[in-house]
Each structure stands twice: as structure tokens, then as C-alpha cells.
């Protein structure tokens, strides 16, 4: 029974202890610890929120008010005046009305607030007037606050009343003699000054009452034993505070795969693979600079590298490396890192920054995966990415924010490269933000930045408008010299080609001169490729392809430009008899264009050479047209098998007509195929089909003549006569026209002879008219024929 009771008691105690700890954690998360410190010229108040909090500081009549978003927190003001006097800050309290923090100021001072890190707000009470236009000198309503009233003074401390306990035990009475042993013994027994009690934590009383109730219930049920033999109280831990038991900083995981500190991290502090993002203070290149002449500063820092006994000084070396990185001297910074065999904690980080400043990729990449960080690390990670479009989770706002924080000379240095990275990924908004971060500074941004602006203009508009918009920026740069002039020349040629225009002679002349100067440098490849495209647009394809070194894909682009813009004679000279291996290297679209131009020029066999091996509907139709020109009708029909579009039907009908198949006309039933139907009927000599074209068509009138002639020669082909209503031998009615009429002599035979003569004359007249019309039709037909 006893073990079972002890087991139940143990469970209850652990349960209640867990409830108490949960209550303490909830209560701790709802309070704000306020500490202070005194400095030369200002007093500092630090507010430690448990999480990142929105806050706003505004002016009041007697000081300042700090408001936060959400439910008002509980401020622990116990230790505010422990380390600072009341000469600047005279009062601090939570307003019962709205829970905001009120600060009373007793001097001609002002407060400058800032957030050291998320959740840590610092209020510096500085001597003197506030900065002009400070937003913290406005009221909560946004109005300009009146001058500060500093008549507020802290209340006087009440005098001790009779019977009040002393602050500490009284000293022994003076005996008039010096007994240092007794004095030391008495002093050692003095209790230390009483510590200020912290604020009561909400919910702690309820948790304590719940523990007592459950313990009492356990005693009543016999599962908890009450004993009087308790051990003596142990000495409380130093500080006597709950948070003295909390470990701050690195800690071992509570269980495999569980990081207890992960829950306290804010979003944007971890990479996708769980690594910590590099903090901004380790990437503060703006803060690593020094005032004064650069050369003198470098000499001063170099003179401090070696200390006593010519040993390298780690602190001086780190300072020099950071200064070189601030200047953008990547190679010099790497030289310092590698020159001394000393352990520098951030050596790998600085080496990665140095490589990125020089346009190289760090290996190993210390910024790998940090493009998702909400810090300056995202900027340096993006600079090291070859294709930003493959990283959609990049924190573009953090990149733009980190770039704006760089010194101006680094923005000029890194901006064009970073903007091009985002422009290539299709993110023109971030690229424009990077451009704006440079252009808002006064002064000439330089040719590299103007090149960046021209690139954005080319990307934002269509080809024709972009060319016209970028030309005013590019032409002045191209007129100069150096790398910027080469890049401007390449960009202007690309703009001309994209607009479908022939590159001007001035462009090719300038590009050829720059290519000669570039020699075998890294800029020779893009320049030679651009010049090849310009020459191809001028119908000088072989000259362009003979240049070197050409970038990969330049041959294909040059053929594409040449196929669309070349003169007919230049295209025929270059395309006819081309090496089949070279033909197969070109894109299908280019081969189709060349083949169509060759077929239109009547060169069907060279066209078939350019179409060899191509698949798809367009290639099959082009091949069928080439076979039509060669009158290879069966090849036409084989190539069109399975195609049913209008073009295929017309080509198939033409092939059937050439083979004498009357079914060709049935394939041309649509209204849009009237002309093709007429030509097909002529090839097939299907005159009845042509006779229905109308009197306005010369071929229709001629076909009608042939049709009537055939009908006269072949009565079987004439239309059948209408059946008579009366029997053949029935006499005609007296009043009918067919009834014989007697002449003046009363002989009906004489009158019949006269009627026969009149009919013969009318028939002869009709034959004459038809003969005249036939001669006119034949004459017009002969005139219309070539």
C-alpha cells in the first residue's frame, strides 16, 4: 500500500510542478523587464520584451509616452533607479488608463529610441535639445508637442516613523575602544541589504493555490504523507531570481534532433537547411570605415599589424581586413587573411566577402542558402548566385535593404552586377530599387551605372522603343574608352539586332577597333560575338563567322539574323551548297526561313537540303512546296499524308490534278479556294466546272462555248426535252399556234412553207451571233494568255 501511495504522490507532485512551471513561463512571457545604466552625457533605459514588438514613442507635457501594439504588457520597474540618479529621469510608471509607459523628464533633455535587436528597445535620455524635425517630439496625435515642462520632481521619501523596522540590524553600541576582531565578527553576521521584490507574476497565485488544494486532497485520500522532519533550507542560488536558472546562449539539445533554442528564433533567422543566418553586425561594411585620408589610414593600420617580438596582432589584423573590405579591396583583404598564421574567428566569412567584392564566387560558399534570410546575408548570397530565377524564395526586400545600407562607393561597384542578376531573372522591380539606391545620391553615378540604367530601359520596353530610349545613354559612353565603352558598344548592337534593324557602319567600325584593342582579354568574346551579329545583319555572314573568339551560340544567332535581314543575292550565295554539317547545327526556325526564301527564288533542291531531317507540320508543308516546284507529285502526296489544313488540301489537290484525278475538285469546296478551284479545273479540262464562273470571267465564257459545242455534237449530252402533254397524233386545237392556218387562197400548206422559211432565218441569225461571240471570246482568251 505504501509504495502505491508514494507512487500516486510522486505523480501528483510532478504534475503540479509542471503546472507551476507552465504558469511561470506564461507569466514571464507577459512581463517586460526594465533596466537602466548611467553614461557620460546620457542615461539609458532598456526594455526587454519577450518577442518582437511594435512600439511608438511620443511626447507628453512632462516627458514621453511609449505605446506598444496588442495587449499592454506588465512592466517590471523594480530596478530602474538602482543604477541611475533622478536628475534626468524623474519618474517612470505604467499608465492605468491604457497600460502605456510614461517617463517624466526633469532636465533639458530629449529621448532618442532605437531597437538594438527584435524585442530589445533602448531609450537614451540625452542632454540638450532634440534634433531638428525629430519624429519623437510629436504627440500621439501627430501634432508638434509644446516645450517640455520640467517642473515635475519626485516626491520626497517619507520620514521613518516610530516603530518602523530598521533597514538592517543595528550596529553594536560604541564602547570607546577599538576591537577589530569583534567588529569583523559582527559585520560578518549582518544580513545583506534586502533585494527589491519583483512584480507579482499573473497566474502564479492561482497555480500556487491549485498545488495546495491538490496536496491537501492527496493527504485526505492517504496518497500523500505529511512529515515534520524536513531538511534545512538550502542557500538560494546567486541572484535569487527565476531567470538565473535559464541558460542563455548555446545549449545542448534536450533530445536527438531537437534544438531547444529553435522556438526562440524569429522568422528569417534560419536557412532552408537549418543553419543560422549570419547576423548583420558581422556584415556591417559601412561601420568598418574610418574617417580621414585612405592612404594614410592604410599605412597606419599596416603599421599596427605586428606587435611585440614581431608577432601579428589579431585585433589589428582584423581591423585592417575589415577596412579593406569597406573600401572594396577584396584581393588585399584576402592577402592579409592568408599572410599570417593566426586564428581569426571570421576569416572564412571575410574571405567570402572579399571574393564577392572582386566578382568571384566563394569556395566554400559561406553564404550558401542565405538568400532566404531577412538580413544583409541575403544580399551577399544573391551576389554569389549564377541564376537567381532558380531561387524563388530569395528575400528580395532584404537584398534591397542590405544594398541600401552599403556605402556609396560599394553601391556603385556592386550595383550594376546585382541589378543585372535580378534583370536576368525577370525581377525588374528589385533591379529598379537597386538603381534608385544609387541614383538618389548626388553627383555623377559613372558610366557603369548609366549602362545599368540603359539595360533596364531595354528590358522594360519593346524592341523598337527600347532601342530609341537607350541610345542617348549608350552613345556617349561608346564614344569614350575602357571597359564601359566596350560594354556600351555591345549593348547598342544587341539593341539594333533586337529591333530587327541593320547595324550601322559606325557600330561595326567601332566594334572592330575595340576588338583589336581587347586582344585575348575576357571582354574579347562578347565583343567579337556582337560584331559577328552586326556583320550578319549587313549581309556579311562569313566575315562575322570568321572572327574569334566567338561565344557559344554566336553562329546560330548570326545565321538567324542573316536569314531574316540578308539581301537575296547574299543569301543565295551563302546558303546554296552549304556544308550539311553546318546546316544541321542551325535552329529549325532558321533552316525553315532559309528554305522558304530559296524555294521562293525557284531553288527547290537547295531548299530541300536545308529541310533535310526536319520534322513538324511547317517543315512538311515547306518540303511539299519544294516538291511541287519540282513536279514530283507523288512525293508531294507522300509528304502531305495525314495533314488536313487548308494549305495541305490545296497542295494535295494540285498534285491530284497534275496526275489527272478528277477528285481534285472535291478537295477545293471552300469559298476561299475559288481561285485554286478554277486553276485545277483548267488543268483537268473540267469545262462544266469552269462554265459556272459567270460572264465576267473569260475562262468561264470559253468553257461555256466548249460545253455548248460538246452538247451539239453529242445529243446524248444535251439536256432532255420536256415531255408533251398531248399524244403525238392528236390534232392541234384550232386556237393554238401550232394549228395550220389557211392563207388567202384557203390552202394551209402555203402558210406552213412560209413559217419554215422564217425559222431557218432565225436559226441562221442565232448561229451568226453565237459565232461572233465565240470569236470575241477566243480573241480575249488569246490576249489574256501570256
User: Omega before 549 cis (within 30°)?
Assistant: yes
Residue 638: pLDDT band (50, 70, 90) is very high
Residues 341 and 312 in one domain: yes
Q: At what angle do helices 674-684 and 698-713 cross, to 10 degrees?
A: 40
Beta 31-39 vs 74-76: how paired, if at all?
parallel
φ, ψ of residue 132 in degrees (nearest 5): -65, 130
Pairing of strands 101-105, 89-94: antiparallel
Sign (positive or negative) of CA dihedral 245, 246, 247, 248? negative
**What distance in Å separates the CA atoms of residue 326 and residue 332, rounded to the nearest whole number?**
11
Considering the domain architecture, whether residues 291 and 358 belong to the same structural domain is answered as: yes
Q: Higher model confidence: residue 457 or residue 467?
A: 457
User: Would you say residue 460 has pLDDT above 80?
Assistant: no
- For residues 238 and 244, the answer to whether their CB atoms sit within 8 Å is yes
Is 28 among the domain residues? Answer: yes
For residue 529, what pLDDT band results from cuts at 50, 70 and 90?
Answer: very high
> Which residue matches cell numbers 556617349?
476
Within 10 A of 683 (CB to CB), how many other CB atoms are there? 15
Same domain assignment for residues 674 and 696:
no
457: pLDDT strictly greater than 90? no
Cβ atoms of 68 and 79 within 8 Å: the answer is no
DSSP 725-785: SS-TTSPPPTTSTTS----TTS-HHHHHHHHHHHHHHHHHHHHHHHHHHHHHHHHHHHHH-
Neighbours of 235 (CB within 10 A): 7
Q: Which of 75, 110, 137 is the last residue of a domain?
A: 137
Domain of residue 94, residue span: 15-137
Closest CA to 531 of 589, 568, 489: 489
Q: Is 5 within the bounds of a domain? A: no
Q: Is the pLDDT of residue 190 over 50?
A: no
- The terminus-to-terminus CA distance of the chain in angstroms comes to 127
439, containing H or E segment: helix 428-439
The larger pLDDT score, comparing residue 618 to residue 460, is at 618
In a domain, 252, yes or no: no
Residue 645: what pLDDT? 85
- Domains of the chain: total: 4
Q: Which sign, positive or negative, has the C-alpha torsion 38, 44, 47, 52? A: negative
Distance CA 33, CA 244 (A): 14
Domain boundary among 383, 411, 445: 445
- Asked if the bond preceding 734 is cis, omega within 30° of 0, the reply is no
pLDDT band at 746 (very low <50, low <70, confident <90, very high): low
| Residues 394 and 378: beta-carbon distance below 8 Å | yes
Asked if 577 and 606 touch (Cβ cutoff 8 Å), the reply is yes
Closest C-alpha among 140, 171, 152 to residue 62: 152
Note the pLDDT of residue 248. Answer: 45
> Which of 635, 658, 681 is the endpoint of a domain?
681
Residue 636 has pLDDT above 70, yes or no: yes
Nine cell digits for residue 754? 412560209
Same domain? For 640 and 710 the reply is no
What span, in angstroms and rounded, lies between the C-alpha atoms of 625 and 607? Answer: 10
Phi/psi zone of residue 240: left (φ > 0), alpha (ψ -120 to 50 degrees), beta?
Answer: left
171 located within any domain: no
Supply the DSSP symbol for 155: P
Query: What is the mean pLDDT of the segment spanning 230-240?
Result: 52
- Residue 159 belongs to some domain of the structure: no
Cell numbers found for residue 36:
537602466
Residues 31 and 49 reside in one and the same domain: yes
pLDDT-based confidence at 26, cuts 50/70/90? very low
Q: 3-class secondary structure for 341-399?
A: CCCCCCHHHHHHHHHHHCCCCCCCCCCCCHHHCCCCHHHHHHHCCCCHHHCCCCCHHHH
Residue 408: which of 449, 462, 372 has the closest Cα? 449
Q: What is the mean pLDDT of residues 720-726?
A: 46
Dig out the grid coordinates for 157 from the structure: 521619501
- Reply yes or no on whether the pLDDT at 696 is more than 80: no
> What was the pLDDT predicted at 113?
92
pLDDT band at 57 (very low <50, low <70, confident <90, very high): very high
Residue 230 lies inside a defined structural domain of this protein: no
Q: What is the mean pLDDT of residues 382-409?
A: 90
Question: What average pLDDT does range 169-175 have in this prediction?
Answer: 46
What distance in Å separates the CA atoms of residue 468 and residue 285, rounded to the nearest whole number? Answer: 39
Q: Answer yes or no: do 31 and 124 share one domain.
A: yes
Ranges 257-261, 343-347, 558-562: which has the least confidence = 257-261
Helix (H) or strand (E) holding 55: strand 55-59
Which stretch of 30-44, 213-227, 232-246 has the lowest confidence by average pLDDT? 232-246
Strands 109-117 vs 120-127: parallel, antiparallel or unpaired: antiparallel
10 Å CB burial of residue 459 (0-12, 13-18, 19+) is middle
Q: Are 21 and 121 contained in the same domain?
A: yes
Q: What gap in Å lies between CA 727 and CA 38, rounded to an integer?
A: 141
pLDDT of residue 717: 47
What integer pLDDT is reported at residue 484 of this predicted model? 85
Please report the DSSP string for 163-177 in residue order: TPPPSSPPPPPP-SS
Task: Find all residues with CB under 8 Å of 623, minimum gap 6, and list them.
Answer: 608, 611, 614, 639
Does residue 271 carry a pLDDT above 70?
yes
Distance in angstroms (rounded) separating the CA atoms of residues 699 and 394 = 72
Question: Looking at the structure, do residues 274 and 418 belong to the same domain, yes or no?
Answer: yes
Has residue 169 got a pLDDT over 60?
Answer: no
Longest dimension (CA), the chain: 198
Helix (H) or strand (E) holding 125: strand 120-127
Beta bridge partners of 758: none
DSSP codes joined into one string, 654-672: HHHHHTT-GGGGGG--SGG
Distance separating alpha carbons of residues 455 and 445, to the nearest angstrom: 15
Same-domain check for residues 661 and 709: no
Supply the CATH number for residue 110's domain: 2.60.40.3470
Residue-level pLDDT at 250: 45
- Higher model confidence: residue 764 or residue 43? 43
What is the spatial distance between Cα 611 and Cα 620, in angstroms, rounded to a whole number? 9
Q: Is residue 420 part of a domain?
A: yes
Half-sphere exposure of 323 (CA within 13 A, CB side): 21
Q: What is the pLDDT at residue 694?
A: 52
For residues 311 and 423, state if they share a domain. yes
Residue 43's DSSP bridge partners are 38, 125
Same domain, 343 and 426: yes
In a domain, 466, yes or no: no
Residues 609 and 695 in one domain: no
Q: What are phi and psi of 47, to 5 degrees?
A: -110, 120
Amino acid at each position: 500500500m505504501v509504495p502505491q501511495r508514494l507512487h500516486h504522490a510522486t505523480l501528483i507532485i510532478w504534475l503540479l510542478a509542471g503546472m507551476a512551471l507552465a504558469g511561470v513561463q506564461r507569466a514571464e512571457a507577459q512581463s517586460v523587464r526594465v533596466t537602466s545604466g548611467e553614461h557620460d552625457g546620457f542615461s539609458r533605459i532598456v526594455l526587454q520584451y519577450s518577442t518582437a514588438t511594435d512600439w511608438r514613442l511620443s511626447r507628453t507635457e512632462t516627458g514621453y509616452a511609449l505605446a506598444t501594439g496588442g495587449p499592454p504588457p506588465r512592466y517590471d520597474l523594480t530596478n530602474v533607479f538602482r543604477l541611475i540618479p533622478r536628475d534626468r529621469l524623474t519618474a517612470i510608471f505604467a499608465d492605468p488608463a491604457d497600460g502605456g509607459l510614461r517617463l517624466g523628464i526633469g532636465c533639458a533633455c530629449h529621448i532618442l529610441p532605437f531597437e538594438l535587436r527584435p524585442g530589445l528597445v533602448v531609450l537614451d535620455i540625452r542632454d540638450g535639445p532634440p534634433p531638428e524635425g525629430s519624429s519623437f517630439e510629436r504627440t500621439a496625435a501627430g501634432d508638434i508637442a509644446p516645450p517640455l515642462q520640467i517642473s515635475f520632481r519626485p516626491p520626497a521619501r517619507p520620514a521613518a516613523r516610530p516603530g518602523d523596522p530598521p533597514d538592517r540590524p543595528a550596529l553594536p553600541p560604541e564602547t570607546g575602544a577599538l576591537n577589530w576582531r569583534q567588529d569583523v565578527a559582527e559585520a560578518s553576521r549582518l544580513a545583506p541589504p534586502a533585494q527589491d521584490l519583483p512584480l507579482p507574476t499573473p497566474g502564479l497565485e492561482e497555480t500556487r493555490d491549485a498545488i495546495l488544494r491538490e496536496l491537501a486532497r492527496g493527504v485526505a485520500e492517504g496518497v500523500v504523507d505529511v512529515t515534520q522532519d524536513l531538511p534545512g533550507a538550502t542557500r538560494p542560488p546567486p541572484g535569487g531570481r527565476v531567470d538565473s536558472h535559464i541558460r542563455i546562449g548555446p545549449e545542448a539539445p534536450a533530445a536527438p534532433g531537437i534544438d531547444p533554442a529553435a522556438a526562440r528564433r524569429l522568422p528569417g533567422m534560419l536557412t532552408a537547411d537549418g543553419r543560422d543566418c549570419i547576423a548583420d553586425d558581422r556584415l556591417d561594411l559601412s561601420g568598418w570605415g574610418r574617417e580621414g585620408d585612405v592612404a594614410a589610414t592604410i599605412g597606419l593600420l599596416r603599421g599596427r599589424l605586428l606587435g611585440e617580438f614581431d608577432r601579428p596582432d589579431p585585433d589589428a589584423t582584423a581591423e585592417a581586413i575589415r577596412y579593406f573590405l569597406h573600401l572594396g579591396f577584396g584581393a588585399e583583404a584576402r592577402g592579409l587573411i592568408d599572410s599570417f598564421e593566426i586564428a581569426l574567428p571570421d576569416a572564412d566569412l571575410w574571405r567570402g566577402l572579399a571574393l564577392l567584392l572582386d566578382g568571384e564566387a566563394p569556395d566554400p560558399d559561406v553564404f550558401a542558402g542565405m538568400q532566404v534570410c531577412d538580413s544583409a546575408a541575403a544580399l551577399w548570397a544573391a551576389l554569389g548566385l549564377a541564376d537567381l530565377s532558380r531561387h524563388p524564395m530569395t528575400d528580395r526586400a532584404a537584398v534591397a535593404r542590405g544594398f541600401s545600407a552599403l556605402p556609396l562607393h560599394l553601391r556603385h561597384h556592386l550595383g550594376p552586377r546585382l541589378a543585372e542578376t535580378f534583370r536576368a531573372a525577370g525581377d525588374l522591380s528589385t533591379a529598379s530599387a537597386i538603381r534608385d539606391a544609387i541614383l538618389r545620391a548626388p553627383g555623377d553615378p559613372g558610366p557603369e551605372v548609366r549602362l545599368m540604367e540603359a539595360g533596364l530601359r531595354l528590358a522594360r520596353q519593346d524592341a523598337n522603343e527600347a532601342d530609341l530610349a537607350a541610345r542617348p545613354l549608350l552613345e556617349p559612353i561608346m564614344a569614350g574608352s575602357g571597359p564601359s565603352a566596350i560594354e556600351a558598344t555591345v549593348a547598342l548592337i544587341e539593341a539594333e539586332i533586337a529591333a530587327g534593324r541593320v547595324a550601322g557602319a559606325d557600330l561595326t567600325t567601332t566594334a572592330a577597333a575595340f576588338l583589336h584593342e581587347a586582344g585575348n582579354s575576357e571582354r574579347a568574346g562578347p565583343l567579337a560575338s556582337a560584331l559577328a551579329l552586326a556583320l550578319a545583319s549587313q549581309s556579311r555572314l562569313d566575315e562575322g563567322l570568321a572572327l574569334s573568339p566567338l561565344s557559344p551560340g554566336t553562329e546560330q544567332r548570326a545565321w538567324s539574323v542573316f536569314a531574316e535581314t540578308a539581301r537575296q543575292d547574299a543569301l543565295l550565295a551563302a546558303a546554296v551548297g552549304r556544308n550539311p554539317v553546318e546546316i544541321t547545327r542551325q535552329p529549325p526556325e532558321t533552316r525553315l526561313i532559309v528554305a522558304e526564301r530559296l524555294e521562293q527564288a525557284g531553288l527547290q533542291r537547295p531548299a530541300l537540303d536545308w529541310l533535310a531531317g526536319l520534322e513538324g507540320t511547317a517543315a512538311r508543308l515547306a518540303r511539299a512546296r519544294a516538291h511541287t516546284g519540282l513536279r514530283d507529285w507523288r512525293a508531294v502526296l507522300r509528304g502531305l499524308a495525314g495533314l488536313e489544313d487548308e494549305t495541305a488540301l490545296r497542295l494535295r489537290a494540285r498534285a491530284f490534278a497534275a496526275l489527272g484525278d478528277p477528285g481534285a475538285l472535291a478537295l477545293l469546296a471552300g469559298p476561299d479556294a475559288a481561285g485554286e478551284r478554277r486553276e485545277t479545273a483548267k488543268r483537268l479540262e473540267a469545262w462544266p466546272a469552269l462554265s459556272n464562273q459567270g460572264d465576267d470571267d473569260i475562262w468561264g465564257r470559253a468553257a461555256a462555248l466548249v460545253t455548248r459545242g460538246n452538247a451539239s455534237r453529242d445529243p446524248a449530252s444535251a439536256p432532255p426535252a420536256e415531255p408533251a402533254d398531248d399524244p403525238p397524233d392528236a390534232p392541234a386545237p384550232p386556237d393554238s399556234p401550232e394549228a395550220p392556218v389557211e392563207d388567202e387562197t384557203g390552202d394551209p400548206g402555203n402558210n406552213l412553207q412560209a413559217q419554215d422559211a422564217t425559222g431557218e432565218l432565225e436559226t441562221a441569225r442565232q448561229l451568226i451571233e453565237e459565232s461572233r461571240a465565240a470569236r470575241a471570246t477566243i480573241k480575249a482568251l488569246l490576249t489574256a494568255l501570256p
